Amino acid sequence: MIDIQEATQLVLSRKRDFGTEKRPLEQCSGRVLRQDIRADRDFPPFTRVTMDGIAIQWAAYEKGQRRFPVEGIQAAGSPQLRLMDAGSCLEVMTGAVLPENTDTVIRYEDLQIEEGQAQIIPEAKVKAYQNAHGQGTDRQAGDLIVASGAVLSPAEIGVAATVGLPELEVACMPKAVIVSTGDELVPVASRPEPHQIRTSNSHTIQMALSRWGVPADRLHIDDELEATKTALGNCIQNYDIILLSGGVSKGKYDYVPAALEALGAKKHFHKVKQRPGKPFWFGEVEGQCTIFALPGNPVSSFMCTQRYVRPWLRVNLGLEPMGYAHAVLAEDFHFKPDLTYFLQVKTHYDAATGRLMAQPVEGHGSGDLANLADANAFLELPRGRNDYAAGEVFPLIFYR
């Protein structure tokens, strides 16, 4: 039995590469970019009018001229016009090209326009070259705007659209399958016999994965060695990652470790000094399939998914390891076994100090799924001690 530090290190050191794929912009939210996004032209691509009004030559204004005959209108989306007479003006619209032979824009608020003549009002404050956004001042053609490795959010999607990329090269997400075991389990829509319960873990884990961008199928295997071997063999062929729930304890029908080892999966560890989640088994068919065999209790499997699967995913997408939040234990807590304890807590900000407080949420152990709905995080209490005092700070895993 290893401790959580060693388990974490073993999980994060198993490197995989899921390849890259091109996806349309709408499907790139949260994906990891695998190409550089560069400016295909200057930004802005032309000196751009930023206020509706008139474009003039600064030199004319500087010499005292305040009244300008209007030669025409430069609309947004129209080819660039040319001011013919240095002493006249062109009306210009926001987003338009600044006309040739002009350099300064006076906004309508500072003008009176009557009978083809624009008069600048005396109160107007006019500065040279104002209200024109110079070509290439944001970025120049060829500049790197978003580097490979970025996580794509709406801001990066806007950049990609601007530089003419309707699709982006992104890291593939691993293909996952969630396998539930346990003959006591029946489907959600069925009416269980008194000794049966409905499947819930695979739904919980499926949604957690989908929030991280990982599509996952669900599968149930009966507690029978040959059936377990056949089904897991197919999963190893067809998926990058298997998340099992149940079948990893010391029970007579816990065939999962035996079946995985018979299929050539290498075990990296079985059992971790933690509660919940002690029977956690981790291994792989090298280069082909990574296997997280989690305990069947709802709180255990959920905690292990948050604490091990999520960081593994980040690292294998080439992202920085996850930074942990930290919170203040709100009341004294006692825990006897020599195990890291993942305490279910509900967090709030203390109004007086602004500190993030973690209030233990009383539950009834790792089978108490309902309790997960009352809490919002796990507080990670280190092993090697029995008493944890109110006011101490510990790592926190938010799961909402």
Helix (H, G, I), strand (E, B) or coil at 397: strand
Residue 268-297 contact track with its own copies, rule CB under 8 A, x = bound: ----------------------------xx
Which of 2, 12, 70, 73: binder of its own copies (CB under 8 A)? Answer: 73
In whole angstroms, give the CA distance from residue 187 to residue 220: 9
195 binds its own copies (CB under 8 A): yes
Residue with tokens 């089978």: 367
User: What residues between 328 and 357 interact with its own copies by CB under 8 A?
Assistant: none
Which of 2, 70, 126, 145: binder of its own copies (CB under 8 A)? Answer: 145
Minimum separation from the CB atom of position 208 to its own copies (A): 4
Nearer to its own copies, 255 or 388 (CB): 255
Minimum separation from the CB atom of position 288 to its own copies (A): 27
Minimum separation from the CB atom of position 297 to its own copies (A): 8
Which of 5, 9, 210, 386: binder of its own copies (CB under 8 A)? Answer: 210
Residue with tokens 């959580």: 4
Please name the residue ranges forming H helices in the chain.
4-13, 58-62, 154-162, 201-211, 225-238, 256-262, 298-304, 310-316, 369-374
- Do strands 176-181 and 241-245 pair parallel, antiparallel, or not at all (unpaired)? parallel
371 binds its own copies (CB under 8 A): yes
- Do strands 185-186 and 266-270 pair parallel, antiparallel, or not at all (unpaired)? unpaired
Minimum separation from the CB atom of position 322 to its own copies (A): 14
Nearer to its own copies, 10 or 249 (CB): 249
Q: Is 216 exposed, middle or buried (0-12, 13-18, 19+ CB in 10 A)?
A: buried
Which range in 61-69, 119-127, 285-293, 369-377 contacts its own copies by CB under 8 A?
369-377
Nearer to its own copies, 285 or 369 (CB): 369
Which of 102, 204, 340, 347: binder of its own copies (CB under 8 A)? Answer: 204
Which of 122, 154, 287, 384: binder of its own copies (CB under 8 A)? Answer: 154
Minimum separation from the CB atom of position 145 to its own copies (A): 5
Nearer to its own copies, 54 or 289 (CB): 54
Q: Are 109 and 119 in contact (CB under 8 A)?
A: no
Which of 303, 339, 372, 379: binder of its own copies (CB under 8 A)? Answer: 372
Residue 88-127 contact track with its own copies, rule CB under 8 A, x = bound: ---x-xxxxx---------xxx------------------
What is the end-to-end Cα distance of the chain in Å, rounded? 30
Q: Is 188 exposed, middle or buried (0-12, 13-18, 19+ CB in 10 A)?
A: exposed
Helix (H, G, I), strand (E, B) or coil at 91: strand
Minimum separation from the CB atom of position 217 to its own copies (A): 11
Q: Are 242 and 263 in contact (CB under 8 A)?
A: no
205 binds its own copies (CB under 8 A): yes
CB atoms within 10 A of CB 70: 15
Which of 16, 31, 34, 48: binder of its own copies (CB under 8 A)? Answer: 48
Which of 201, 274, 340, 347: binder of its own copies (CB under 8 A)? Answer: 201
Q: DSSP character for 179? A: E
Two tokens at 369?
Answer: 């799924």
Nearer to its own copies, 174 or 246 (CB): 246
- What is 100-149 written as a DSSP string? BT--EEEEGGGEEEETTEEEE-TT----TTTTEE-TTSSB-TT-EEE-TT
Which range in 120-128, 139-147, 224-232, 280-288 contacts its own copies by CB under 8 A?
139-147
CB atoms within 10 A of CB 138: 14
Residue with tokens 């982006």: 168
Residue 21-40 contact track with its own copies, rule CB under 8 A, x = bound: ----xx-xx---------x-
128 binds its own copies (CB under 8 A): no
